[in-house]
Amino acid sequence: MHKQKIAAIFLVLLFCLSAACKNPAGDSSSGNTDSGNTDNSNTDKDNTDNSNTDEGGKGTEAKTGKVTFFNESSYRAVVHQDVFSGPVLLELNSGQSKTADVRVSDNYGVGSTFSIEYLYRINDGFDQESGEVIAGGIDPNVQINFVVEEDKSYTKQIPQPQNLEFQQAFLEILNAGSLQYELRYLGTVFKQAGNSSISVAPGKTGVYKLEGIPAAGKVMENYELVSTFASTVIPGFTAMKGFIYRFTYNGSSAVQTGEQTIVFK
């Protein structure tokens, strides 16, 4: 019996020793779990580092230089990037200067091109209610070419044009009828070039800019004058850049009365 008691005590001690080895301190076990959470936060820091890398990737944005354009001409000037029909970079009044950030010339030293469009007032002979009618003209010899380098500054003068080639045509319609009219093309209503009004009152002149005319000219058809009680088709004509085409509307018909070349002064 004494030996059995000794064996039982020995088994109890052995069990307690085994349990203590498996879990020496419960709080430390929790700490290990927290330590695992800390590792997760470290992973988040790594993600933050990746986002910094992405921000670093933004460092590949376009490299630029600064170009100041000074308009020495007596006209308002528009600076186009590349060709004359290219995106507008700046618009300047006579005597004004403006600065723009411009992409560096990355075309093996050929340089960047800036094309100048001059805005020319053409309506000295129109009635005052027509507003300021402006034609865009280019001097083919006025293109500014140079190499733009990163973080460098440049000043370029816009000269007085020697000859202007106008890029639009204009339609001028005198309202000799007793009712106001609107100019429409296949349901589209036109605004006047100078005052942006739609209706033209009796005794007044509507002036409209005709865009997108190729060098060979463009046949203008299906334009009509619409008043309260009538709709009148304008006789077809071929529009050429740099011309003003004149019509008179009497309330029931439209008659072409002449054409005029826009004269550069």
For residue 59, how far is the Cα from the chain centroid?
23
pLDDT, position 131: 81
pLDDT, position 109: 67
Considering the domain architecture, whether residues 151 and 183 belong to the same structural domain is answered as no
4 inside domain? no
Phi, psi of 261 (to 5 degrees): -75, 135
Residue 134: domain span: 64-165
Contact (Cβ atoms closer than 8 angstroms) between residue 108 and residue 135: no
Domains of the chain: total: 2
pTM: 0.70
Q: Final residue of a domain: which of 108, 141, 165?
A: 165
Task: Tell me the C-alpha distance between 173 and 21, whole Å.
Answer: 105
pLDDT, position 132: 86
Considering the domain architecture, whether residues 69 and 159 belong to the same structural domain is answered as yes
Amino acid found at 95:
G
Contact (Cβ atoms closer than 8 angstroms) between residue 120 and residue 75: yes
Considering the domain architecture, whether residues 129 and 218 belong to the same structural domain is answered as no
Q: Looking at residue 74, what DSSP letter applies? A: S
Distances (CA, A) of 133 to 123, 129, 170, 252: 6, 11, 9, 27
pLDDT, position 106: 77
What tens digit of pLDDT does each residue of 96-109 get?
A: 999 999 999 876 66
Considering the domain architecture, whether residues 178 and 247 belong to the same structural domain is answered as yes
HSE, CB side, 13 Å, CA atoms: give it for residue 129: 11
Considering the domain architecture, whether residues 82 and 143 belong to the same structural domain is answered as yes
220 inside domain? yes
249 inside domain? yes
Considering the domain architecture, whether residues 68 and 157 belong to the same structural domain is answered as yes
Distances (CA, A) of 236 to 126, 169, 185, 233, 240: 23, 15, 12, 9, 13
Q: Final residue of a domain: which of 165, 197, 231?
A: 165
144 inside domain? yes
Task: Tell me the C-alpha distance between 264 and 120, whole Å.
Answer: 8
Which CATH number goes with the domain that contains 116? 2.60.40
Residues of the chain with pLDDT under 50: 1, 12, 16-17, 19-57
183 inside domain? yes
Distances (CA, A) of 87 to 67, 84, 91, 158: 16, 9, 11, 17
pLDDT, position 62: 79
pLDDT, position 28: 38
Q: Final residue of a domain: which of 165, 192, 210?
A: 165
Contact (Cβ atoms closer than 8 angstroms) between residue 248 and residue 258: no
Considering the domain architecture, whether residues 256 and 178 belong to the same structural domain is answered as yes
Considering the domain architecture, whether residues 136 and 197 belong to the same structural domain is answered as no
Q: Which residues contact 231 (CB under 8 A, 6 or more apart)?
A: 224, 225
Considering the domain architecture, whether residues 76 and 145 belong to the same structural domain is answered as yes
Task: Tell me the C-alpha distance between 240 and 155, whole Å.
Answer: 36
107 inside domain? yes
42 inside domain? no
21 inside domain? no
pLDDT, position 55: 45
- 153 forms beta bridges with 66
Element spanning 114, H or E? strand 112-121
Considering the domain architecture, whether residues 208 and 243 belong to the same structural domain is answered as yes
Considering the domain architecture, whether residues 112 and 157 belong to the same structural domain is answered as yes
Task: Tell me the C-alpha distance between 204 and 33, whole Å.
Answer: 88
pLDDT, position 76: 96
Considering the domain architecture, whether residues 192 and 252 belong to the same structural domain is answered as yes
